[in-house]
Amino acid sequence: MTVQLGTPIALGTLQLNAVDDDGVTWLHSDLKGWSSAPARVEFQPRQADHGAWPSPVYLDGRPVTITGKIAAPTTAARDAAIERLIAAVSLTDTTLTVSETIPKQLTLRRSGDLLIEMINPYSVTYSALMTAADPRRYSTTLQTQSTGLPSTTGGLTVPVTLPINLTSSVTGGAFTLINDGSIGTRPVFTIQGPAINPIIACTHPDGSTDQLSYAATLVLGDSLVIDTDAHSVILNGTASRRRYLSGSWPEIGPVSSLAVQWSAPVYDAAALLTGTCRSAWM
């Protein structure tokens, strides 16, 4: 049974602030870079005037240095723990999770040396440099909303009896995604066919809109994934359909929301739009 020591921190499945099932104590000592990512900005001097003209400010990739200590009951347990650490400091994307009041995560990979120093037959200290290409710290909770195409109920039915009372209502076709964080986050939309030339309209709280139009037909069983961060459009997990999509990529602002509506010229009850996002922090 794993016993947590302080704030839970995990690199993939490896707990870095705990006593594990083998009796190995993992003591995290520092997580440099977790609280702040480097900024990318330029300042051009103003001619014959005080000050400078600033460029937009963007966050760069976030380097994170993870340091700590491993204390094991035996030399064999120490060596096994070292191998687990080497595997966890992955050459491919892995998730670093810090269970703060609002648990957050980064996706990162090894970007420098993994330094391991032997203290005695049972203990080592370590330092690992990893970098998150996407500097945002995301909520560990994935927000998911789904809706079918909008449908209309009511209206005029025949035969009619005077006086005529025309009432109808539209149901479905809309949902809202929320970002509780401090920096914009970008949703992923998945359309399950059948759907002909579907359109996704996104409305921000200030009334401005972004629209994504897909100029092709999805048949029953098709799945189209639109990643507004990667700017990718993938059909059935393999085929790029980016050339069929037009419009502007939506982003959910900090401490804001996005009202999402979708439509298609022909209604089909099997069609489904799903939107996912995570709140994001700087």
Give the pLDDT confidence score for residue 153 in this predicted structure: 62
What is the model's pLDDT at position 6? 80
pLDDT for position 226: 98
7 has a pLDDT exceeding 90? no
pLDDT digits (tens, 9 = 90+) for 105-157: 999 999 999 999 999 999 999 999 999 999 999 999 999 999 999 986 655 55
- Tens digits of per-residue pLDDT, 35-90? 999 999 999 999 999 999 999 999 999 999 999 999 999 999 999 999 999 999 99
Question: What does the pLDDT read at residue 57?
Answer: 94
Q: For the residues 222-249, what does the mean pLDDT come to?
A: 96
Q: What does the block give as tokens for 28?
A: 């995290």
Tokens of 222: 């098709």
Indicate the burial class of 262 (C-beta count within 10 angstroms; 0-12, 13-18, 19 or more).
Answer: buried
More confident residue, 172 or 248: 248
Instruction: Report the candidate in 167, 107, 170, 164 with the shortest Cα–Cα distance to residue 134.
Output: 107
- With a cut of 80, say whether residue 206 has pLDDT above it: yes
Which residue's entry shows tokens 């035996």?
A: 74
Mean pLDDT of 98-104: 95
196 token code pair: 């002909």
Strand order in the sheet with 245-247: 174-179, 256-263, 199-203, 209-214, 245-247
Write out pLDDT tens, residues 185-194.
999 999 999 9
159 preceded by cis ω (within 30°)?
yes
Domains and CATH numbers, the chain: 3-135 (2.40.30.200), 143-151+173-281 (2.60.120.860)
pLDDT for the residue 156:
52
Q: What is the DSSP letter of 252?
A: B
The pLDDT of 228-235, averaged and rounded, is 96
Give the DSSP H or E segment for 75.
helix 75-88
Sign of the C-alpha dihedral, residues 205, 224, 104, 66? negative
Q: Which residues of 27-53 are buried (b: 16+ CB within 10 A; e: fewer)?
A: bbeebebbeebeeeeeeeeeeeeeeee
pLDDT of residue 4: 73
pTM, two decimal places: 0.86
User: If pLDDT is split at 50, 70 and 90, which confidence band does 159 have?
Assistant: low
pLDDT at 176: 97
Q: Taking all residues of the chain, what is their mean pLDDT, rounded to a whole number?
A: 92
Residue 160 in this model has a pLDDT that exceeds 70: no
Using the predicted structure, report yes or no on whether residue 217 has a pLDDT greater than 80: yes
Q: Does the structure show a pLDDT above 60 at 208?
A: yes
Structure confidence at residue 158 (pLDDT): 56
Place of tokens 């909520």: 139
